Structures are given as C-alpha cells and as structure tokens.
Amino acid sequence: MASHSQHKHPWFLLSVFLILLLSEQWIMQPEARLHTRHLKFSPKKLFVFGDSYADTGNIRRGVSKVWKEPYGTTFPGKPAGRFSDGRVITDYIAKYLKLKSPLPYGMLKEHPHHVKYGINFAFGGTGVFNTLVPGPNMTTQIEQFESLINYNVFNKSDLADSVALVSLAGNDYSNFLATYGSINGISSFVGLVVNQTAVNILRIHKLGVKKIALTSLPPLGCVPEITASSSYRACNDTYNILVSIHNSCLLDAVEKLNGESKKNSSFVMLNLYESFLSVLNDTKRQNSSRMEKTFRPCCAGVSSEYSCGSVDDKQVKKYRVCQDPRASFFWDTVHPTQAGWHAVYNRLRNTSDLRQLHY
C-alpha cells in the first residue's frame, strides 16, 4: 500500500499545482484578464450635465410644476424637482456606481459640504445651445463645474476617481422647431449640435474626469407629446429618423474621440434609443405587462389647455393621474415614470454600455 501511495503522490501534487495555476489571473483567457483588471476602477464621484432627464432638483421652485404635486409621489413621496413621479436616470446610474445621487448644484449654497458624491449641474429644459428655457446651457454648466475646481471644491484625485453623466433629451431640436416652424434645414443643425456636444465632453475630460457617459437621444417620436396625434397608438417615424441621424453622427464623434484618447474607452455612449424601444415594444407585446398603456402618459391635463400639475386660479386641479404609475412607462407628455426609468436602466445594465464605466 505504501509503495502504491508513493507512486501516485507526484501526480497528485501536480494536479493540485495545476488547479492552483488555473485559479490565477495570469493564465486566464485574455478577455478574462482584461475584465478583471478593468473592474479595479470604482468611481467615487458622479458629475451630471444636461437636461430634465437627469435634473434632480436644479430648476428653481416656483418656476416649474415639478416642485408641485403630483410630481415625486412615488419617490421621495413629495415634489423634489425631478421631472417624474420618482427617480430618474441619474439616480439609477449613481446606484450602479454604488454612489448616492449627487447634490444638485442649485442646493450647494444650502449644503456646501454635501459634495462627497459629486454634483448634478443638469437643468430641465436646457440644451447644448440656448433654448426657450432661460437656464444654463451645457457650456455654462461646465463653466460652473470648472469654477468649483478652481475654488478647490474638487481636487485632481476627486476628478480622476469620477464619472460624468451627460444627458441629451432633444431640447435643442424642440427649440429649432419652435423657432423655425418646420424641419427644413435641420440636417445642418444636427451637425452643429453633435459638434458642440463633442467639444463639451472633451472639455469635461480635459478637466480631469476619467470617464464620460453620454446618452443617445431617446426615440422622440414615441413620447406622448408626439403620439397624441395618433391617439397614442404609434410612434412618429419622421421624428425617429431624425433622432437616428443624430445618434449615428454622435456615435461617430464618440468613436473619434476615443481613437484620439490615450485610453480608448474614456467616452461611453449609453443607448437610450434602443433601451426605450426595447421596453416600449415589450409592453406592447405582453398583455400581462403592468405597463399596459404604452404611449399614454400617466399624468395629463384634463384638456389640451392644461398639463400634468396644472391648477386654475382657485387652485383646483386640472390634471388626472393614472391609478398606478408603475403600470405606465411615461409619467407626463415627455418624461418616463420611475418604473419606466428602472426598466430602461435594466436594459442598459444588460448591455456592455454601463460595464464600460468600471473599465
């Protein structure tokens, strides 16, 4: 028995040695080694720029209905400056990064020390350029950010361990249509919007932010404001074609910036277009889905004269709210519900888009 055991012993040791080797990163497949190494980046701060899809309270009280009922009924249980019944994309990106949603810039004077998780500069209704809303456009938002850096609110280490979220929801194009009354000449305007967006995100990167996540335009032809003309039955293809052109040009710009960057994944594009469509198509196909009224807003005015949150001179409500916001993708005529944003976030999480923020 002793002789037999000694004969097997070297092979046993070799097997153990091989098992130990297989557990080491340096003999993993190249993709696995890359993934493990990249996951070492854990952002400590989130800086947010853009519009109402990302705004968590920058628009002033008294200026917008988002500070009045029924906004915020799902979260935090009262109006809090978000364009939804609850959480928006910013909150879910922060959650993914294991951070708390950053403080809105407009609340910095009240809470000057609450900058641990970053700052949110996004302002509802604004765009890359000036819009009908007299708020800070994206260039001004970046100037606000740079000012905080100059005042040493954030140092180089803070910026190196951070991610920026840049939201584009189409306000520049809404402003174009409102100004000119048609889409004539809008193709050249797309180029201007995309070029300025590229300038903006490159500037954020040069200020020291390691990763910039940029949203594509969502399918604007599917928002209730547009689908109302078809009794909320179908998306408008004309609008969505325009959106697709914008997104294609923007993707080209992002890929060019990554090609010029020392690290080829500094700029990440989050595909809201496909994520929105995926959720909307699923809700149309599945009769058992809780979001049964795909294009119809949960909260809307009692007539075309009013909108979600409207009241008359006697403070009588002039809007209706659906029984369960969790069953609706859209909250008002433009913005998703918390449930809608959560579904979109789940689609993004199942792609490589969000994972790139950890590389």
The single residue of 205, 246, 335, 342 carrying the catalytic annotation is 335
List CB contacts of 325: < 8 A, sequence separation 6 or more: 73, 74, 85, 86, 298, 299, 331, 337, 338, 339
> What are the tokens at 111?
């809470």
Determine the Cα–Cα distance for residues 49 and 168; give it in Å rounded to an integer: 9
- Environment class of 232 (CB within 10 Å of its CB; exposed 0-12, middle 13-18, buried 19+): middle
Helices (H), the chain: 2-22, 30-38, 89-96, 138-150, 156-160, 171-180, 186-206, 224-227, 237-260, 272-285, 338-349, 352-355
Determine the Cα–Cα distance for residues 85 and 102; give it in Å rounded to an integer: 19
The single residue of 52, 167, 174, 266 carrying the catalytic annotation is 52
List CB contacts of 212: < 8 A, sequence separation 6 or more: 163, 164, 166, 201, 204, 205, 266, 267, 268
In degrees, to the nearest 5, what angle opens at C-alpha 65 toward C-alphas 62 and 67?
A: 65
Determine the Cα–Cα distance for residues 88 and 53; give it in Å rounded to an integer: 7
In degrees, to the nearest 5, what angle opens at C-alpha 225 toward C-alphas 337 and 317?
A: 70
Q: Show contacts of 60-65: CB within 8 Å, 24+ apart.
A: 60/106, 64/124, 65/307, 65/308, 65/309, 65/310
Specify whether 332 is catalytic: yes
Question: Is the separation of the CB atoms in 267 and 212 below 8 Å?
Answer: yes
The single residue of 85, 91, 332, 353 carrying the catalytic annotation is 332
Question: Is the separation of the CB atoms in 89 and 54 below 8 Å?
Answer: yes
Catalytic residues: 52, 332, 335
